[in-house]
């Protein structure tokens, strides 16, 4: 072994160690930020290791440097700009976009390696010689393409650029996807048989498969899908590692792939969904409206912002239940102003965070932290549930299914068994909502019918702004 090889070996080993520590650290609140930086450092280290290895052995041509610099600058620049500019509310689609690009990168590497030794003729790539390389190229293209198109569809759906077409909810979609899957299998075997042009067929049908699988999935399940696609992009990276013979790529890709699967499972659990039903069940709402969950509201009490303010003023303990609607209305800052006023009046305010509040697990915590809500006031579901009976007022802001008592009481409900917040135990519940539309699940919320529940209709941000005005008039929070 000569020196460059040894150096690269040591650096690779160190990078793997740091990446593992990074992923480990990211799962604890205290160490998360440092761990993220550690992982970023490990990634740069791996680049230095690879470049120094080539400098020490074959050397790097000027032309290669130029293309390296062009690619790096453009990619990093756009990545950094997007990461700085994007609002916290659109975090899920941002992660999806980044993820899709990672998949695209693996796809392109495999494609490049696959095409050019053949059409280039005199190039001395010997990648395509063995079956193993053909298999790893195919896997890299297949998984990379699914990751890319799947992530882009997920992003477009979360952004609202794409809705769920009706036909994708019928059984036809399974047939269509099976056709795509079989076609990719055919392309795969054709490729191994030496017919290199079928690589394009593989690219096309696996891209279509990514679209076909993601398109029918409803918005509520999207976070799970993104997490799963994230795991795929790790697998794609590992496959690309086989293509270019890099252990580091294989280890890192495999780690992300496996960790992503675990995370996906944890998320499914929090949402009371199985992975199979997320992937093949289509969107929940279309099924459940047909079966149960119909039924009219009989006992809706609606009230004005003024009444709400009066009740709040007289309370000792208030629990806020923020949900998706709050995120959509971007009302977290306004909410913070309301709670500040209440706190100044000596009222105890706590935020009850359901595991899947917001648009993806943990998203609500990020949004509230952005609005300067003290970390200690965010209570997880299991901690806060016993507190509801001793609570005077609960404010439900744009949350729906996560406060539906059906999940506890009605064993015929599709929601049954899902962990929910027991808000109905509180003395008074105010639900701030645009209208009577159902939540993700499309199921009627029994909470709204309860005598201690009052609806305050309106956009969350506007209602909260009015609330601030009313509280001001009452002299709340002014000393």
Partner 1 sequence: MSFISLLWVLLLGSLLGLELIGKVPPTLHTPLMSGANAISGITMLAALTLIVKAEGNVPLLIIGSVSLGFALFNVVGGFFVTDRMLAMFSRKPSNKK
Kindly list the catalytic residues.
Answer: 401
Give the distance from CA 459 to its chain's centroid.
25
Binding test (CB under 8 A) with partner 1, winner from 11, 93, 102, 445:
102
User: Is residue 355 near partner 1 by the rule CB under 8 A?
Assistant: yes
Which residues lie across from 320 on neighbouring strands? 351, 395
Report the Cα–Cα distance between both ends of the chain, in Å, rounded: 76
**Measured distance CA(359)–CA(355) in Å, rounded:** 11
Residue whose token pair is 């992503």 = 260
With CB under 8 A as the contact rule, which of the stretches 182-190, 325-333, 370-378, 437-445 interacts with partner 1? 370-378
User: Is residue 116 near partner 1 by the rule CB under 8 A?
Assistant: yes
Nearer residue to partner 1 within complex by CB, 238 or 318: 238
Binding test (CB under 8 A) with partner 1, winner from 27, 193, 294, 316:
27
Give the distance from CA 479 to its chain's centroid.
43
User: Is residue 118 near partner 1 by the rule CB under 8 A?
Assistant: no
User: Is residue 469 near partner 1 by the rule CB under 8 A?
Assistant: no
Residue whose token pair is 């969107």 = 283
Interface size with partner 1, residues (CB under 8 A): 118
Q: Which of residues 434-453 bind partner 1 (CB under 8 A)?
A: none
Angle at 229 between CA 228 and CA 230, to 5 degrees: 85
Task: State the minimum distance, in angstroms, from the CB of residue 418 to partner 1.
Answer: 14
Site string for partner 1, 237-266 (x = CB under 8 A): xx-xxxxxxxxxxxxxxxxxxxxxxxx--x
Which of 216, 211, 219 minimizes the C-alpha distance to 149?
211
Q: Which of residues 177-236 bind partner 1 (CB under 8 A)?
A: 226-227, 230, 233-234, 236
With CB under 8 A as the contact rule, which of the stretches 28-36, 153-161, 388-396, 424-432 interacts with partner 1? 28-36
- Within 10 angstroms of residue 179's Cβ, the number of other Cβ atoms is 14
Q: Which of residues 36-65 bind partner 1 (CB under 8 A)?
A: 36-37, 39-40, 43, 46-47, 50-51, 54, 58, 60-61, 63-64
User: What is the SS3 assignment for 320?
Assistant: strand
With CB under 8 A as the contact rule, which of the stretches 74-82, 157-165, 401-409, 424-432 interacts with partner 1? 74-82
Q: Which of residues 297-336 bind partner 1 (CB under 8 A)?
A: none
**Measured distance CA(111)–CA(244) in Å, rounded:** 12
Binding test (CB under 8 A) with partner 1, winner from 192, 275, 279, 369:
369
Nearer residue to partner 1 within complex by CB, 186 or 258: 258
Q: What is the spatial order of strands in the sheet that 428-433 belongs to?
A: 378-380, 348-353, 317-322, 393-397, 428-433, 453-457
Nearer residue to partner 1 within complex by CB, 370 or 392: 370
User: Is residue 67 near partner 1 by the rule CB under 8 A?
Assistant: yes
With CB under 8 A as the contact rule, which of the stretches 93-101, 181-189, 287-295, 402-410 interacts with partner 1? 93-101
Q: Is residue 341 within 8 Å of 469, Cβ to Cβ?
A: no
Binding test (CB under 8 A) with partner 1, winner from 56, 281, 362, 458:
362
Task: State the minimum distance, in angstroms, from the CB of residue 428 to partner 1.
Answer: 27
**Secondary structure (H, E, C), 68-131:** HHHHHHHHHHHHHHHHHHCCHHHHHHHHHHHHHHHHHHHHHHHHHHHHHHHHCCCCCCCHHHCH
Q: Is residue 101 within 8 Å of 78, Cβ to Cβ?
A: no
User: What is the SS3 assignment for 442?
Assistant: coil
Task: State the minimum distance, in angstroms, from the CB of residue 138 to partner 1.
Answer: 15
Q: Is residue 319 within 8 Å of 395, Cβ to Cβ?
A: yes
Task: State the minimum distance, in angstroms, from the CB of residue 373 to partner 1.
Answer: 8
Nearer residue to partner 1 within complex by CB, 246 or 285: 246
Nearer residue to partner 1 within complex by CB, 6 or 290: 6
């Amino acid at each position: 072994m000569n020196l460059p090889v040894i150096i690269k070996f040591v650096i690779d080993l160190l990078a793997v160690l740091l990446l593992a520590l990074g992923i480990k650290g990211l799962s604890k609140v205290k160490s998360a930020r440092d761990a993220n930086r550690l992982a970023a450092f490990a990634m740069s280290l791996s680049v230095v290791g690879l470049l120094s290895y080539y400098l020490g052995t074959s050397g790097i041509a000027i032309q290669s440097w130029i293309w390296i610099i062009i690619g790096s600058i453009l990619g990093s620049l756009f990545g950094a700009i997007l990461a700085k500019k994007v609002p916290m509310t659109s975090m899920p689609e941002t992660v999806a976009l980044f993820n899709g690009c990672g998949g695209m990168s693996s796809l392109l590497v495999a494609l490049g390696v696959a095409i050019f030794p053949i059409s280039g003729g005199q190039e001395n790539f010997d990648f395509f010689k063995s079956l193993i390389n053909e298999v790893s190229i195919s896997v890299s293209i297949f998984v990379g393409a699914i990751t890319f198109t799947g992530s882009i569809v997920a992003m477009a759906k979360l952004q609202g650029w794409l809705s769920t077409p009706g036909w994708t909810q019928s059984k036809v979609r399974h047939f269509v996807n099976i056709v795509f899957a079989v076609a990719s299998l055919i392309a795969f075997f054709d490729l191994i048989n030496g017919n290199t042009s079928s690589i394009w067929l593989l690219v096309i049908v696996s891209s279509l498969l990514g679209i076909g699988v993601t398109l029918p999935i409803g918005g509520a399940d999207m976070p799970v899908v993104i997490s799963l696609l994230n795991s795929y992009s790790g697998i794609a990276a590992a496959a690309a590692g086989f293509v270019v013979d890099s252990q580091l790529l294989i280890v890192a890709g495999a780690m992300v792939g496996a960790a992503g699967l675990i995370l996906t499972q944890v998320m499914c659990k929090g949402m009371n969904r199985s992975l199979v039903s997320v992937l093949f069940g289509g969107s929940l709402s279309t099924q459940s409206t047909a079966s149960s969950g119909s039924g009219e509201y009989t006992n809706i009490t609606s009230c004005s912002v003024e009444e709400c303010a009066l009740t709040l003023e007289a309370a000792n303990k208030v629990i806020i239940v923020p949900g998706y609607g709050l995120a959509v209305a971007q009302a977290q800052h306004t909410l913070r102003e309301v709670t500040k006023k209440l706190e100044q009046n000596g009222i105890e305010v706590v935020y009850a965070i359901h595991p899947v509040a917001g648009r993806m697990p943990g998203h609500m915590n990020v949004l509230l932290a952005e609005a300067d809500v003290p970390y200690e006031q965010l209570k997880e579901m299991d901690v806060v549930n016993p507190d509801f009976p001793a609570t005077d007022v609960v404010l439900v802001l744009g949350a729906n299914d996560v406060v539906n008592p059906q999940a506890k009481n009605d064993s015929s409900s599709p929601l049954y068994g899902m962990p929910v917040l027991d808000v109905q135990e509180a003395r008074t519940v105010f639900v701030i909502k645009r209208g009577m539309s159902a939540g993700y699940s499309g199921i009627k919320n029994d909470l709204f019918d309860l005598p201690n529940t009052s609806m305050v209709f309106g956009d969350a941000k506007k209602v909260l702004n009015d609330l601030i005005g009313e509280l001001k008039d009452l002299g709340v929070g002014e000393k």
